[in-house]
Amino acid sequence: MKEHRTAVAATVLSGLLWGSSFVVVKLGLRTIDPYWFVFMRFATASAIAIGYVAALGRLSGLRAALRHPLVIWLGVTNAVGFVMQFQGQTLTTASKAALFVNSSTILVAIASWFVFRERLTRVKTAAVVLGMIGVVMVTTGGRFRLMPGAELTGDALIFGAAIIWTAFILLNKRIVAEHIADVRVLTAAMVTVTALTALPLAAVFGRGGLPELSVDLWVVAYTALFCTVLPFLLWTWGLKRISATGSCVILLVEVVFALTLATVVLGERLSTGVMLGAVLIVSAVALTSLGGGDETVAGPDVVPDYTVEEEEELP
């Protein structure tokens, strides 16, 4: 019983840390180019993850994972998704970013029906309908007409990122179906490929070169450790002790905390229409999680579904 409570607490903490990322990223984007921000975040996370894997004596597994085509595509889609999110957050609010990013859970329910022929239950169908209405409400503020401008462009970029992360999750499900892998090794490989993919994007599209060391770079260290590596470890530890469905529902704290923090730290205010859309999206994510049995869908910072203590390495 005590271990179960500890697992719930670990899952809640991971959700809070992931939720904080949207506000911290918004703060960082005031001084850091979004392309270089993505690269530096995942280069730092990669160094931490590789060090952890090395300490476990699993570097041979990491080398194998880095050669696997699906793992490479995981990293590529992750990098593209984060570049779109960070670029979008320069134009729109952290609150909207949190809502749009988490709508990828709803999109997965639709995509899985086409790709894996998974049954679209009544609960999931209701979730999809509610979620799509919620996305429209958040985008339009309840006015049900698009207002051209920078914020709409930012909304579109972040929703595009949610679509990219839908592909990311489906690729992960493909790996789950075909292989049994050490999640720690797989995540280290994925964040490494993400960093390697982000580097040329930053060199070509980013403003200037690699930012000089300054106090402003605390956001890079924070997002690498507290929004990538640490919450992943907390989440996977908790997932081994509570059900995947329970974990998904608990992780809804991520959206709630992101919206609260954006209000307190950034002074963001949601209109009545956007608030209603937020409620619909959160409800849809909850329904999707509850309607999915014991299968979990996590955010883009982690590779979900692996819960075995000692797994075989990727070939």
Q: What is the pLDDT of residues 16-57, one digit of tens each?
A: 999 999 999 999 999 999 999 999 999 999 999 999 999 999
Q: What is the spatial distance between Cα 61 and Cα 50, in angstroms, rounded to a whole number?
A: 11
pLDDT of residue 116: 63
pLDDT score for 134: 83
300 or 231, which is more confident: 231
Instruction: Report the pLDDT averaged over residues 153-167.
Output: 89
Q: Band the pLDDT of 314: cuts 50, 70, 90.
A: very low
Amino acid at 112: S
Q: Where are the alpha helices (DSSP H) in 104-243?
A: 104-115, 122-140, 150-178, 183-205, 218-224, 230-239
* Per-residue model confidence as pLDDT tens digits over 202-248: 999 998 888 887 878 999 999 999 999 898 888 878 877 776 666 77
% helix / strand / coil in the chain, to the nearest 5?
75, 0, 25
Reported confidence tier of residue 310, pLDDT bands at 50, 70, 90: very low
Domain chopping of the chain, boundaries: 2-290
Mean pLDDT, all residues of the chain: 82
Tell me which range, 16-30, 169-183, 200-214, 286-300, is most confidently predicted by mean pLDDT. 16-30
Q: Quick one: average pLDDT of 122-130?
A: 79
Q: Quick one: pLDDT at residue 307?
A: 41
pLDDT band at 311 (very low <50, low <70, confident <90, very high): very low
Q: Residue 304 pLDDT more than 90?
A: no
pLDDT value of position 53: 93
Q: Which of 79-88, 262-271, 306-315 has the lowest mean pLDDT?
A: 306-315
If pLDDT is split at 50, 70 and 90, which confidence band does 177 have? low
Cα separation of 116 and 98, whole Å? 27
Taking the model in full, what pTM does it have?
0.84
Q: Which tokens hold the place of 165?
A: 């992360």
